[in-house]
Amino acid sequence: MTYVDEDLLQYTDWRGQPFLRKEVARFLTFYCKTPKPLDPENVVILNGCSAVFSALAMVLCDPGEAFLVPTPSYGGFAFSTHLYAKVKLVPVHLESQVSANGYPFQLTVDKLEHALLRAKIEGKKVRGLVLINPQNPLGDVYSQDSMMEYLEFAKKYNLHVIVDEMYMLSVFDEAITFHSVLSMKSLPDPNKTHVIWAPDFCISGFRFGALYTHNREVASAMSCFGYLHSISGIAQYKLVKWIDNIYLPSYHFRLQEAHRYVTRKLKASKVPFLNRGSGLYVWINLKQYLDPCTFEEELLLHRRFLDHKLILSPGKTFMCKEPGWFRLVFAARPHLLRNGEWS
């Protein structure tokens, strides 16, 4: 890990070093269970998933155009899309109320259709659909059937689909099976399906994000952003050492233990939450502590947590339609979780 070669100190390939792109393709081929080996030439590596997403927005859209995004969703998307490309997000609002044969915050094609129609009425040109699987902050894992429905919807309306699979290796519940988009033998529109991934190994300081796309024109355009958003050669070399199957068993065990501890405490405190088996967070309902239940009160409660050195991200930062929901990150060492409890 301390090895430094002179070649690593030179300018890197804008797409990412060939040895790292080859390793990423091999890694995703194995863990995504792809029908055939992935091509390293379809891999583009930049300094973080946000950089990849922001660059994709510039490549796929003109300023003022939009993406559909189911909400609540990762709040960084709004910043990433608007920073360079001035691309807008059209929220597909999901509700906590459970409909017949449904579950809380369920994404359906009907909701996508409704959001797309609303965008057209408002004069917005939608160019794509953004999906996170496993979902952040909900922790939901989309089934193959559901994902195929979303992809068919996108093809019907000639939309690109950006699938963020960053947390695919953070599914710690053995009863849940994650299916990558890359595992599908036949995609409705391969040239408009783009996958973002980064190793969810708690090494975010490496600033690594990868794109896999079957569309060579998109890959070529994305590689230009390596001029501004590349990773140092030394970091790329070290990343190759991390991208293997040694870390995962311990990682899953630690996530299970931390999730079990936090959810047990939430149940004892009678705090409702979505009980999912993936991701690094729990989506919790603190509406009972808001009076009145408004986003203003939600922000005040968030600040009270901060005063006690606890960070619970308020639902509004995830574009949640309902006030009172918070994301609690549980991926921490046991003593920190215990300190948080007493805080």
pLDDT, one tens digit per residue, over 119-138 is: 999 999 999 999 999 999 99
Cα distances from 110 to residues 93, 113, 117, in angstroms, run: 11, 5, 11
**Angle at which helices 76-83 and 49-60 cross, to 10°:** 50
Question: Which class would CATH give 248-342?
Answer: alpha beta
**pLDDT the model gives residue 202:** 65
| 324 Cβ contact partners less than 8 Å away, ≥ 6 residues apart | 285, 286, 287, 290, 293, 298, 315
CATH architecture type of domain 6-242: 3-Layer(aba) Sandwich (3.40)
**pLDDT the model gives residue 162:** 97
- Is the per-residue pLDDT at 342 higher than 70? no
Ranges for all domains in the chain classified under CATH 3.40.640.10:
6-242
**pLDDT the model gives residue 1:** 58
Q: Are 164 and 135 in contact (CB under 8 A)?
A: no
Q: Which helix (H) or strand (E) holds 327?
A: strand 325-329
- Is the per-residue pLDDT at 248 higher than 80? no
**pLDDT the model gives residue 79:** 82
Residues above pLDDT 90, as percent of the chain = 66
Name the more confident of 12 and 131: 131
Q: How big is the chain, counted in residues?
A: 343
**pLDDT the model gives residue 88:** 93
- Is the per-residue pLDDT at 343 higher than 70? no
Query: Which structure tokens are listed for 252?
Result: 């899953």
Ranges for all domains in the chain classified under CATH 3.90.1150.10:
248-342
Name the more confident of 111 and 80: 111
Q: Are 25 and 37 in contact (CB under 8 A)?
A: yes
* Residue 189 DSSP symbol: -
| 170 Cβ contact partners less than 8 Å away, ≥ 6 residues apart | 134, 200, 251, 255, 278, 279, 280
Residues above pLDDT 70, as percent of the chain = 94
